A and B are shown apart, each in its own frame.
Chain A
Amino acid sequence: QSALTQEASVSGTVGQKVTLSCTGNTNNIGSSPVAWYQQISHGVPKSVMLGNSLPSGIPDRFSGSKSGTTASLTISGLQPEDEANYYCLTWDYSLSAYVFGPGTKVTVL
């Protein structure tokens, strides 16, 4: 059981805006930056948001935010190539360890 929760699945049509959430507590998301990773068909994960920073080469349709103990990843203008699993990652002070969320499968209809 992860210390973080994510939607199991989210779907949208091409061009639609979708928002993924990652919920934790004051020991993790409430106190630490959150990173997001895209993994297509169980290939190598790719960083799509590191705290408030968009990694080089990632389209600006990806954006991140955080409010209290919930972080969000928004894809504005969903594209077919965005179909993937998305994982959040943050440091948990009570565990003294990083923790991943269970992942959200994004389907482009």
Chain B
Amino acid sequence: EVKLLESGGGLVQPGGSLRLSCVASGFSFSDYWMHWVRQSPGKGLVWVARLKGDRSVADYAASLRGRFTISRDNAKNTLYLQMDSLTAEDTAVYYCARDAGGGRGVDYWGQGTLVTVSS
């Protein structure tokens, strides 16, 4: 059974940093692209970033490139999202998701972790 479990969310002050983690199980983690998706309160889904299984290619939403960094440790079956220079607009639930293959988006989702940026 595919499982994705995010952690690392919480309250952070504006301008601060946070690193999210997503532990994967139930599939060969290193064979899959992995994604981060976020959703601000009351708003729609926003794609954040994706990273190839061998870490050779990373893509980002244009508006987040430069502040957010996606990475992974295949030995630990763990995906990360480093978020810097956070603002209130980054307040959201952040979901980790597995790539569906063939350019078909994502198939499995984690439960999400809430990040609140506030003073």
**Which one, A42, A47, A89, A98, contacts B39 given CB within 8 A?**
A42
**Which one, A42, A46, A53, A100, contacts B47 given CB within 8 A?**
A100
- For chain B, the bracket of interface size reads 20 to 34
Q: Is the CB of B104 within 8 A of A44?
A: no
CB neighbors of B among A51-74 (8 A): 51, 53, 55
Quick one: which of A32, A47, A96, A101 has the most chain B CB within 10 A?
A47
Q: How far is the CA of A103 from the CA of B44 in the complex (A)?
A: 7
Q: Is the CB of A97 within 8 A of B109?
A: no
Could you tell me how many residues of chain A have their Cβ less than 8 Å away from some Cβ of chain B? 30
Q: Which of B18-26, B56-64, B72-80, B83-91 contacts A (4 or more CB under 8 A)?
A: B56-64
Q: How far is the CA of A85 from the CA of B42 in the complex (A)?
A: 12
Chain A hits for B111, CB < 8 A:
44
**Is A102 in contact with chain B by the CB < 8 A criterion?**
yes
Q: Is the CB of A55 within 8 A of B107?
A: yes
Q: Is the CB of B103 within 8 A of A33?
A: yes
Binding site for A on B (CB under 8 A): 35, 37, 39, 42, 44-47, 50, 59-62, 95, 100, 102-112
The contact sample of 15 A-B pairs, CB cut-off 8 A, is: A2-B44, A35-B105, A45-B95, A47-B100, A47-B107, A51-B104, A87-B44, A87-B45, A89-B106, A91-B103, A96-B59, A97-B59, A97-B61, A100-B37, A100-B44
